[in-house]
Structure 1
Amino acid sequence: MASIDSQNIGTPHETRPFRAHGHMDIVTLGDFTLGKGTFEPGWRWSDDVKPIVGTDSCQVRHTGICVSGSMTVRMDDGTEATVGPGDVMLIEPGHDAWVVGDEPCVLYDTGVAAYAKPQ
């Protein structure tokens, strides 16, 4: 039987605060999870999420789109890329990341079922 389920990201099922500098709003429908990350200026994964999850680098695979602001991602091997508005991204596990500039970076990400959850 067909079904439809929806939830507005403005009223998420869960909000996961970062140590400082932002939060991730989470909506989960069945086995699908979508997050809206608001990464404030000064946010850096190694400062704001690493203390929550306890891994040396981010071990989550991110797939999504940046809608505002910019973020630089550095893979564990040193490879770097910056994503900005309109950029669709695929970021494999093993990275650090930080906000570039004075504007919050807002990303929609489907790879966040376990993101920023205490381990």
Structure 2
Amino acid sequence: MEALLTKMEKREMTHPDEKRSFAKGEVDLVNLGGVSFGRATLQPGWKWSTCVKPIAKTESCQASHLQYHISGRLRVRMDDGSEEEFGPGDVSSLPPGHDAWVVGDEPVVVIDVTGMENYAKRT
């Protein structure tokens, strides 16, 4: 479904609509043109199954993600056992049913345009 745009808009990720923090990470959310843009910053040692699972209360991440990777290295394991590693400049499409973790000593920064609206949202 295509969003109906009626005017030009500009937003800055440095002034998010919402900021969510969780163990070893945070997400800044900006809503624009009917899309929730999320910038996730994940510190070394972050792993979805230990840092976000207690909030999500699911066995694996059930969000779909369409991401652009800015920095750091992120390893993803799907529930079917397949794995891939992503780094700066990569674009990834991740269906529901995965775990992920930071590889190495550099923080991971990604921009996500599909999976952050309810990510790590405390109820």
> What's the TM-score bracket when you normalise by the shorter of the two chains?
over 0.9
TM-score normalised according to structure 1 size = 0.94
**Among candidates 69, 80, 84, match of residue 66 of structure 1:** 69
Please name the residue that 2:42 is paired with. 39
Distance in 2 separating the partners of 1:48 and 1:21: 7
Q: Percent identity?
A: 48
1:54 and 2:57 correspond: yes
The runs of 5 or more residues in structure 2 that have no matched partner are none
- For residue 6 of structure 1, report the CA deviation from its aligned partner: 2.1
**Among candidates 89, 93, 104, match of residue 90 of structure 1:** 93
Structure 1 runs of 4+ aligned residues shifted over 6 Å read none
- For residue 30 of structure 1, report the CA deviation from its aligned partner: 4.3
- For residue 40 of structure 1, report the CA deviation from its aligned partner: 0.2
RMSD across aligned C-alpha pairs, in angstroms?
Answer: 1.2
The runs of 5 or more residues in structure 1 that have no matched partner are none
Q: Which digits, 9 at most, give the CA deviation of each residue in 1:78-118, with x for residues without a partner? A: 00000000000100000000000000000000121111112
- For residue 53 of structure 1, report the CA deviation from its aligned partner: 1.1
Report the count of equivalent residues: 118
Q: Which digits, 9 at most, give the CA deviation of each residue in 1:11-61, with x for residues without a partner? A: 11111101x111011001242110000000000000111111111100000
Distance in 2 separating the partners of 1:2 and 1:69: 36
TM-score normalised according to structure 2 size = 0.91
The residue type paired with residue 65 of structure 1 is Y
Please name the residue that 1:107 is paired with. 110
